[in-house]
Structure 1
Amino acid sequence: MTDAGVLHCRTVVRYGIGSVGTAAFGTLPGLVLVYYLTDTLGVPALAAGIVIAVAKIWDVVIDPAIGFVSDRHAEARGSRRPLMLLGAAALPAAFLVTFAVPGALPTAAQALWVAVAFLLSATAFSLFQVPYIALPAELTDDYDQRTRLLTVRVVVLALGILVFGAGGPALRDAGSSEAVGYLLMAAVTGVLMGVSMWVASRSADDARRVVVGDAPVSPAVAYRAAIAALRRSRALRMLLGAFVLQGLATGLMLAGAQYIATWVLDSESAVSVLFAALIAPALICTPLWGAIARRWGKEVGFVAATALFALAAVSLAGLWWSSGPWVYGSVAVAGAAYAGMQALPMAMLPDVIGHDEATHGESAAGTIGGVWTAGETSGMALGSVLFTLALAIGGYISSDEPDAVIQPGSALDAMIVGFSVLPAVLALVSVPLILRYPLRRTTIETMNDKVVAGD
């Protein structure tokens, strides 16, 4: 970072590369883990949802504590890098073990194996992700530079989702058996996650030093700090609430993609085409959302992106009547909107952290990053759980031999509702929260001017 707050390209690139790991861990578990449980291991749909939920409830518990510890490390050691490196080192192995379930185990033991391994994976991911989320507020104080940094991150994120969303199932299908295919997918993905997270950790060296106070490190203090941050920052409550609701919406669609491809589009491999249709427009449109933010404000673009996503999602209810190529057009519009729904709130979060530091008198970037990560990951995961609940209500038949199963019409209806109507409703419910978000460009610029003037 320069004295004027302009970010070096090196910093932007290093930080953006971290989204390769974020894309992989955010995409593949949501895309294939529930399907792996129900249609490879034969775990009932509701039980599969519980497996995912347990790991994400654990995320909610540990993320604020990780954020609190990250703040203390940032002050004492001058960098958030140690925790990021620990997560980068541990995640590849834990992710591989998640998909290395011994075939000889009973179904219940297989579900338990996945639950424990995925919990360890989620823990390792949080060790990286929480400080990673905190960094933008410390890399630059400039309103537009933050948008630039997070726009690059979301472009990389979108590219990563495309690669892993399409390539992950392709790697799985390339194996000599389902078990070998899932191991191949997990091994390649794990290596790429670890390398990208290591590169991103280097960007922590460019962050400014922070002052976080002298509170002792303990779980109780960490959770009190997280609650205090939520209480004092209306901007955080509004932004996080909207993002969690949208995480539920996108989590539903992500979990549903494989089921829609297999049972509605009658092509298991169609999930790769769905992802291409979703992410290719996101790659193109992410810079456009950045331009909208610079011209009219981040919050205006966020509302527009959300409304467009809801419109695209509800149009997919047409799957009840037809499953033709038009589906990919609706998914493409959702992808264009998804780019804004990712880039803009991520660019708004550093403003929230900076505003909190200016008004509170000390940095809570890690604590707020922990709260944000807990909300983000639990929203996506609970979207998967909500989809499995819809499947259970619809009478979905789980089997380790899915080719021998004919799903009832009610199960197909549940898939379509979970892939279209529910995401649209959740997106629309988030709009009033965005409208109540209080920070504008003028707020941030005035605050920064006061800091420079020493007021």
Structure 2
Amino acid sequence: MDAPPAGTAPLPGGLPRRVHLGYALGSLATGAFGTVPGLLLLPYLTDTLGVAAGLAALLVLLPKAWDVLVNPVAGRVSDRTRSRWGPRRPYLLLGGLALALLFAAIFAAPFGTGGAAGAYVAVAFLATATAFAFFQVPYVAMPAELTEDYAERTRLMSWRIAVLALAILVSGAVAPIVVTAGGEGLPGHRWMGLFVAALIALGAVGAFVGTRAAPTGAVRESEPTLRAQLAVAGRNRPFRALLICFVVQSAGVATILAGVNYFADQILRDPDTGATLLFACFVGPALLVMPVWTRVGARVGKLRGLVAASLLLAAGAAALAVAPLLPAAAVYPVVALVGAGYAGQQVFALAMLPDCITWDEARTGRRQAGVFTGVWTAGETLGLALGPGIYGLVLQMAGYVSSDTGTAAAQSDTARLGILLGFTVIPAVLVAVPLLTLRHYTLPPTPRTTSTGGDHAVVVGDESR
């Protein structure tokens, strides 16, 4: 990609709706990959391949933890890319299609069940996580280059999170149905892998095509080495505070996702439709409350909006601890509250990220969106990997019994208690406690910033460049 850059400058104000939608379509890919492995991979290993819960937790954790190293590299590569499509868009297409093919390979099961099958899944998942890094990092870096308007970024993120919620709903709710329709066990998971791969490919191609008329953001001067760029990201105090909070919260959300099948099967006693209903109640309200969170952010600011949404998410998760005492009909509305909090938590955190990036550019005069988002997505990926790892460890400690039949084995009361706590109390703590780090989230004024009168000063950009 050695053609001269042909990017246009970021827009100072609003973006066309077709760009909003085009950019948001990429969340079909990020949502599907962020949801389905966290939802189905751990049960696939424990209840279809017969892998012990503790070992299965490691097989899920380690490949995605690899992205902690790969994501910053992907960010630096995209920062330095020059092409007629700009520095980011080539990776939407190439990285996205590679991601789709490799995802289908995870569930291909060429070795049947047992230890060799588990090792194959780990290797395939590692390759898929690498492809995901080269799609996700450039994708997340784009908002800082699409617009310099503070409020417009919130609108852009609202579109993205709306599609993300839809992707989570479709992939998370339909994937278990595809497994069942495909015959359960290995055949059902193969069909599910193909279904999700098609969804990922649709999102990647849609984002690439949909952003063809958007500002591409020409490459600007950056730090000369990756180590120097990471040091710059580490010195950005508001970015550091936001990142720590988001990573730990991502682990909490991923722990909930990892427990959906187990919770539906062992707590709700509804292995056939419980997981699908849980997802519908989790994601459906998120689509409805998205405009509400946008108005909340305009009124009280993104920081306070993030705190409010996170507390709603944590309170709902904690309340689910009494689920064994309630009828299922009373559990699902509580799950809807969790979903509403999750929607706001995602909107505000992702809208605050480009503010940190642009503030750093205004302060240093260097554009390094790729490195910041590389570090961000590495942290997010680590959090999403820790969730199933935490849940698998809880299952192992509680004495969960694995199976290679495609159907969960009967479990003891202790194992069922572990399933419940891993789905409720532990995620609630992981979402609520890191809010303390946001005490350090401020964006001090620079010569190219202005105050909104909200929680902090925010960057509006230098329109002369």
**TM-score, scaled relative to structure 2:** 0.91
Q: Does 1:96 align with 2:104?
A: yes
Match of 2:32 among 24, 32, 35: 24
- Which structure 2 residues correspond to residues 30-429 of structure 1 after superposition, within 5 A? 30-73=38-81, 78-104=86-112, 107-202=114-209, 203=211, 206-213=214-221, 221-230=225-234, 232-269=235-272, 270-322=274-326, 324-401=328-405, 403=407, 405-429=409-433
C-alpha distance in structure 2 between counterparts of 1:2 and 1:147, whole Å: 16
Instruction: Give the distance between the partners of 1:154 and 1:323, measured in 2 at CA.
Output: 31
What is the letter of the counterpart of residue 297 of structure 1? G
Going from structure 1 to structure 2, the CA distance change for 1:422 and 1:50 (only over 3 Å counts) comes to same
1:424 partner amino acid:
A
Q: Is the CA contact 2:355–2:458 (under 8 Å) kept in the aligned structure 1?
A: no
Larger mean CA deviation between 287-296 and 315-324 belongs to: 315-324
Deviation by residue 1:228-250 (Cα, 9 ceiling, x = unmatched): 312x2111111111111110110
Residues 404 and 101 of structure 1: is their aligned pair in 2 closer, same or farther, counting only changes over 3 Å?
closer
- The 2-side partners of 1:428 and 1:179 are apart by 38
Could you say what secondary structure the match of 1:160 adopts?
helix
Give 2:179's aligned amino acid. R
In the TM superposition, residue 39 of structure 1 has moved relative to its aligned partner by 0.2
Deviation at 1:428, TM superposition (A): 1.3
Q: Who is 2:6 aligned against?
A: none
The offset of 1:251, in angstroms, is 0.6
Shift of 1:442: 4.6
Paired with 2:398 and 2:11, the residues of 1 have a C-alpha distance of: 59
How big is each residue's C-alpha offset from its partner over 1:258-317, in whole Å with a ceiling of 9 and x where there is no partner? 000111111112100000010111001111111111111111110000111111011011
Of the structure 1 ranges 147-156 and 48-57, higher mean CA displacement relative to structure 2 is found in 48-57
* Cα distance, 1:349–1:117 mapped onto 2, change above 3 Å: same
Equivalent residues of 1:98, 1:114 under 8 A apart: yes
More helix by share: 1
- How far residue 178 of structure 1 moved from its aligned partner, in angstroms, is 2.2
Q: Which whole-Å deviations, capped at 9, do the CAs of 1:177-232 have from their partners, x for residues lacking one?
A: 4222111111121012112112212426623434443655xxxx3244223312x2
Tell me, yes or no, if the aligned pair for 1:158 and 1:283 is still in contact at 8 Å. Answer: yes
Alpha carbons 2:10, 2:217 under 8 Å: kept:
no
Alpha-carbon shift at residue 52 of structure 1 (Å):
1.1
Task: Assess if the C-alpha contact under 8 Å between 1:79 and 1:207 holds in 2.
Answer: no
- What is the CA–CA distance in structure 2 between the aligned matches of 1:147 and 1:309, rounded to whole Å? 20
Range 127-136 or range 321-330, more displaced: 321-330
Distance 1:7 1:414, change over 3 A: same
Distance verdict in 2 for CA 1:448–1:212, change over 3 Å = same
CA drift of 1:89 comes to: 1.8
Cα distance in 2 for partners of 1:287, 1:121 equals 34
One-letter amino acid matched to 2:387: G
Contact 2:398 2:415 in 1 (8 A): yes
TM-superposed CA distance for 1:102, in Å, is 2.7
**Aligned with 1:176: secondary structure?**
coil
**2:229 counterpart letter in structure 1:** A
Partners of 1:355 and 1:444 within 8 A in 2: no
- In structure 2, runs of 5+ residues without a counterpart are 1-8
Q: CA RMSD in A?
A: 2.2
CA drift at 1:366: 0.4
Checking the alignment, whether the CA contact within 8 Å between 2:65 and 2:385 is kept in structure 1 is no
| TM-score w.r.t. length of structure 1 | 0.93
Contact 1:34 1:255 in 2 (8 A): yes
Amino acid at match of 2:245: A
